[in-house]
Structure 1
């Protein structure tokens, strides 16, 4: 039997909640917690080769790909090295969930067009201030993601037989 005091959501809201459940940083949030993000979930259309952000830009927003593809790249001199190509159901610019950060890679749309949900950093911080439980869950998911990235980095280092110097990685800790 359904709780008569439990909030009910529209079909559109439920659809967005289901979509967000597939995004790592939102997967542990309940619908009642995800609803806090709805007023700040802006759908923006991008065209092929449009830059979402550049490396070193301030982390002003979190992006979620609803439709299309985005290339994650790193600039080395005048060249861009593609790190990954991501599509629907992936987020990027996740460091917008952390105060005072800058981008450490470039994000460029590679499909003919793309629909991206954009959640501004300022709104994420407002939600975190008002709802520490949401902050804890999102940051725990973000920590899991960064842990996985670190494992992949070390695995790559082992397989490349040390073609880059890991001592540079820990100079700031």
Structure 2
């Protein structure tokens, strides 16, 4: 065995770790961590591969793992893949983060639309990471709070817009009903005259 062949697996592992640490720096939730903090976090992650059209999880499943999309693409459905796609999830996106902190079931069904590679971290492993590295854990929690607040603000804006649309539709419906009633009354008066 040549010396180069002996060291090849170790070199490959070092390169994979370096690539993973770089990848984590590009994920919004972890972009404020130091290289060393990302390395420590990477020790708590595991990799899962999904084929295109494979279900990652269904609505109602236990929510105890957060996933980060490393490669591929996923689709989000309210109930089943036969329904309307709510959102496309791409590399560097993450989902399931709420399950790390709350005892909630999955609120949607996620399906791989292409062959995909996901990085997962369980609720228990995230808790361990936060306990072992409280400074890094604090950074992640602050970033997550910021992201969730931003989502909440956008959701409130969307709800306000939809409420305004609904009020407008209701007013138009009432106007149409009023016009229809006036037309009926006018026709009855015309019948009585003839």
Give the TM-score normalised by structure 2.
0.70
Query: Offset at 1:107?
Result: 1.4
| Separation in 2, partners of 1:163, 1:81 | 22
Give the TM-score normalised by structure 1.
0.77
Q: Deviations over 1:114-171 (max 9, x none)?
A: 111122222111111222222211111111111111122122123322659xxxxxxx
Gaps of 5+ in 1: 1-9, 165-173
Q: 1:163 to 1:121 in 2, by over 3 A?
A: farther
Decide which structure has greater helix share.
2
Give the structure, 1 or 2, with the largest relative contact order (CA under 8 Å, sep 6 or more): 1
> How many residues get paired?
154
| Separation in 2, partners of 1:153, 1:114 | 28
**5 Å matches for 1:61-100?**
61-75=65-79, 80-100=83-103
Larger radius of gyration: 2
Query: Match for residue 109 of structure 2?
Result: 106
SS in 2 for 1:18: helix
Is 1:48 the counterpart of 2:91? The answer is no
Decide which structure has greater strand share.
1
SS in 2 for 1:148: helix
Is 1:18 the counterpart of 2:26? The answer is no
Query: Offset at 1:82?
Result: 2.3
SS in 1 for 2:29: helix
After the TM superposition, which parts of structure 1 deviate over 6 Å for at least 4 consecutive aligned residues? Answer: none
